Amino acid sequence: MTDQPSSGPDGATRARRTTAQNAQLALLLEVASTPKPGNVDREREYPDLRFEQFLAGAVGAHGGFAVAADGEPLGVAFERAVAGMSNQTGGNTQFGAALLLTPLVTAAGQGALDPNRATALVGETTVDDAVGFYRAFDYVDVAVPEPPASMEQLDVRRGGDAEPVLRERGLTLGDVLERSAERDGVAAEMTGGYGWTFELARVLERGDEPVTDRAAAAFLALLAQELDTFVVTQHDRETAYEVRRRANAVIEGEESVYSFAEDLVDRRINPGTTADVVAGALFVALERGLEL
């Protein structure tokens, strides 16, 4: 999407943001939203992972989003986004969000931002896209589930070293994500129709509260409904169930969202998958005309 003029509420003409700028802005709005229990936001951070590093990661990811919007292959675009994202000292800030966003950005660049097209793009990927995806793991350490023994040679933590196996087996990026969908919420969202992403986008488009407040509310609502697979990976399913139960308690007014947020940060329980989906939803809403 190219810059096009639009009129603001005061009648002034403004340049429209590009699709890549909306993707970058989605990452910035997501991390600025607060409170997001367990996640870095503008009021909470970890000693080794700071708010400013997420800002830098969002800025760095822009180049990958720009080439995705221009139609470059998903693997190329995603690797470039992660390479730029990693240009800060915190390590992995938005790996999952960048992955979830890349097909959405490509679809928007084609003028077809809908869940069917985004999922179809994942299904149309190639072995080269899978290689680019694996190479992205060379830039940052990413917490991922232990693969089953049958997939040990395809452990994503091998990074670019897995290229010969990918080519020998003819595995596309879509194939890799399908194999991970049972254990990884981002992969499930990308291969399963982007259901939560578009549902939350509709929620974000309603209301007149600040967008960051709407995003924080959407984060809590999703946390109350879906087990966060990043929490499962970092801790265990029991912890993920606890997080979901307490998110529901907050919504029911039985627990303070602020005490919940502080406790998760203190225990380093980070519902990162939920944040990734909210970032995707923010992008969809921005592309559909959500105003700030």
DSSP string, 241-283: HHHHHHHHHHHTTSS-HHHHHHHHHHTT---HHHHHHHHHHHH
The pLDDT-based confidence of 2 (bands split at 50, 70, 90) is: very low
For residues 251 and 34, what is the distance between their CA atoms, to the nearest angstrom? 15
- Is the torsion defined by CA of 274, 279, 280, 284 positive or negative? positive
Specify whether the CB–CB gap between 184 and 265 falls below 8 A.
Answer: no
Which residue type is seen at 112? Answer: A
- How many structural domains are present in the chain? 1
pLDDT digit string, tens, across residues 31-47: 999 999 999 999 999 99
Residue 173 lies in a domain: yes
Beta bridge partners of 13: 7
pLDDT (average), residues 194-214: 96
The set of residues, in sequence order, having a beta carbon less than 8 Å from that of 19 and lying 6+ positions away, is 1, 65, 69, 105, 108, 109, 287
Mean local confidence (pLDDT), 108-128: 97
pLDDT at 13: 65
Confidence of residue 9 (pLDDT cuts 50, 70, 90): low
At a CB cut-off of 8 Å and minimum separation 6, what does 12 contact? Answer: none
Residue 3 has pLDDT above 90, yes or no: no
- CA-wise closest residue to 208 among 266, 291, 275: 291
Q: Which amino acid is present at 39?
A: N
Q: DSSP per residue over 99-127, as a string? A: HHHHHHHHHHHTT--SHHHHHHHHHT--H
Q: Does the pLDDT value for residue 4 go beyond 60?
A: no
Of the pLDDT bands very low, low, confident and very high (cuts 50, 70, 90), residue 235 is very high
| Position 9 in a domain | no
Phi/psi at 7 (5° precision): -105, 135
pLDDT at residue 191 above 90? yes
Residue for token digits 């970058």? 24
Contacts of 64 (CB under 8 A, 6+ apart): 77, 78, 79, 80, 81, 82, 83, 84, 85, 98, 102
Q: What CATH code is carried by the domain that includes residue 105?
A: 1.10.4200.10
The whole-number pLDDT of residue 291 equals 93
Residue 57, domain extent: 17-287
Q: What percent of the chain has pLDDT over 90?
A: 90
Question: Please, are residues 63 and 79 in contact by the beta-carbon 8 Å criterion?
Answer: no
Does residue 231 sit within a domain?
A: yes
pTM (two decimals): 0.94
Quote the crossing angle between the two packed helices 74-85 and 51-69, to the nearest 10°.
160
List Cβ neighbours of 253 (8 Å cut-off, separation of 6 or more).
Answer: none
Residue 239 has pLDDT above 90, yes or no: yes
In a domain, 4, yes or no: no
pLDDT of residue 62: 98
Average pLDDT over residues 213-236: 97
Reply yes or no on whether the pLDDT at 11 is more than 70: no
For the chain, give the mean pLDDT: 94
Within a domain: 1:
no
Q: Strand, coil or helix: what is 200?
A: helix
Report, as an integer, the average pLDDT of 259-282.
97
| pLDDT tens, position by position, 58-106 | 999 999 999 999 999 999 999 999 999 999 999 999 999 999 999 999 9
**pLDDT at position 5, please?**
55
* Mean of pLDDT values over 241-250: 98
